[in-house]
């Protein structure tokens, strides 16, 4: 595998900075805009991205930004395409490349992610944008009988196949298996499910000959379900999360970035800080948050140009 990909992977997880997940699909971006009373139009989505990505000084805090495909071709208020704008700030642009989740036939309540067909051609098309890394997300729900081994296996194979294709096309893959925070499950249930998922993903990455030194894992923290009412302190979250990572991931992985997964900004930050205090780990860790970074700024902005300075601050 090219040393360039190893270098890019290391840059993406360089200490002291993280990765912004600004890759909401058009429908999900519409949900964010609706929170501000704004219509879901291409121009409002562009304004939303511009609010975030055109902030002065974000290069001090971000190694990379994951973009949605639409955003690759949109421009800032200054007429600069967003990937170029990020590069000018010393930030690596990336792109979400899966085509979303669909029902897993025969397995009620479970989802698989689509997009393997035609992936190589799509990746070749994105090259001209300047994107250097990619992301593919698979989700797993904790329930009485879920996640099933079949759902875990199918999604893990797709994640590994995606990662192999991405590397062949010259991109660093971010592999995102997310055990969802929604539900009434305990932290112990999440610990077990996350272990099973990461173990299978790690196994399939090896089987499909993915270069782990040029691969980043994006995963959930080990948390009780949102509606569980289980009271768990930050140190317990950190201890269980770090234990799951150590036991189920190869030490060769370039790094692990955490998703916020519906936590509020304070929770996501406190938990990350507690995890960081468990260092040293055999790989770099950092954040790849979306809502936990964006939501306070988005609500401050609410589409009003006069609110842009305060939102960016």
The tens place of each residue's pLDDT in the chain, 313 residues long, gives 567 999 999 999 999 999 999 999 999 999 999 988 999 999 999 999 999 999 999 999 999 999 999 999 999 999 999 999 999 999 999 999 999 999 999 999 999 999 999 999 999 999 999 999 999 999 999 999 999 999 999 999 999 999 999 999 999 999 999 999 999 999 999 999 999 999 999 999 999 999 999 999 999 999 999 999 999 999 999 999 999 999 999 999 999 999 999 899 999 999 999 999 997 899 999 999 998 999 999 999 999 999 999 999 9
What's the rounded Cα separation, in Å, for the pair 201 and 198?
5
Q: Which residues contact 17 (CB under 8 A, 6 or more apart)?
A: 60, 61, 62, 63, 286
CA distance 86 to 58: 9
Residue ranges of E strands in 182-303: 216-219, 255-258, 284-287
**Predicted TM-score (pTM) of this structure:** 0.96
Is residue 176 flagged as an active site residue? yes
Which of 24, 110, 169, 176 is labelled catalytic? 176
Among the listed residues 111, 132, 218, 240, the single catalytic one is 218
Q: In angstroms, rounded to a whole number, what is the distance separating the alpha carbons of residues 121 and 252?
A: 29
> From CA 256, how far away is CA 117, in angstroms rounded?
27
- The full DSSP string for 160-196 is HHHHHHHHHTT-EEEEEEEE-S-SS--HHHHHHHHHH
């Amino acid at each position: 595998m090219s040393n360039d990909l190893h270098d890019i992977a290391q840059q993406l997880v360089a200490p002291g900075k993280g990765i912004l997940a600004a890759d909401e699909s058009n429908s999900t971006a519409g949900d964010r805009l609706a929170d501000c009373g704004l219509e879901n139009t291409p121009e409002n989505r562009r304004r939303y991205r511009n609010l975030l990505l055109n902030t002065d000084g974000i290069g001090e805090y971000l190694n990379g930004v994951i973009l949605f495909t639409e955003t690759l071709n949109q421009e800032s208020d200054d007429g600069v395409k967003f990937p170029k704008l990020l590069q000018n700030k010393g930030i690596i642009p990336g792109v979400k490349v899966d085509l979303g989740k669909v029902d897993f036939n025969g397995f009620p309540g479970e989802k698989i992610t689509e997009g393997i067909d035609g992936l190589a051609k799509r990746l070749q098309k994105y090259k001209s944008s300047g994107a250097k890394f990619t992301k593919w997300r698979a989700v797993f729900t904790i329930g009485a009988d879920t996640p099933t081994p079949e759902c875990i296996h199918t999604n893990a194979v797709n994640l590994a196949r995606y990662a192999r294709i991405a590397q062949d096309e010259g991109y660093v893959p971010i592999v995102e298996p997310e055990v969802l925070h929604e539900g009434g499950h305990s932290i112990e249930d999440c610990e077990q499910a996350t272990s099973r998922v990461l173990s299978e993903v790690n196994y399939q990455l090896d089987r499909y000959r993915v270069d782990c030194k040029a691969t980043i894992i994006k995963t959930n923290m080990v948390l009780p379900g949102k509606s569980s009412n289980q009271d768990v302190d930050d140190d317990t979250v950190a201890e269980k999360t770090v234990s799951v990572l150590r036991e189920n991931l190869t030490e060769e992985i370039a790094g692990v970035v955490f998703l916020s997964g519906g936590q509020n900004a304070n929770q996501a930050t406190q938990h990350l800080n507690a995890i960081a205090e468990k260092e040293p780990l055999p790989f770099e860790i950092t954040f790849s948050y979306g809502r936990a970074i964006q939501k306070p700024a988005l609500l401050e902005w609410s589409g009003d140009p006069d609110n842009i300075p305060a939102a960016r601050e």
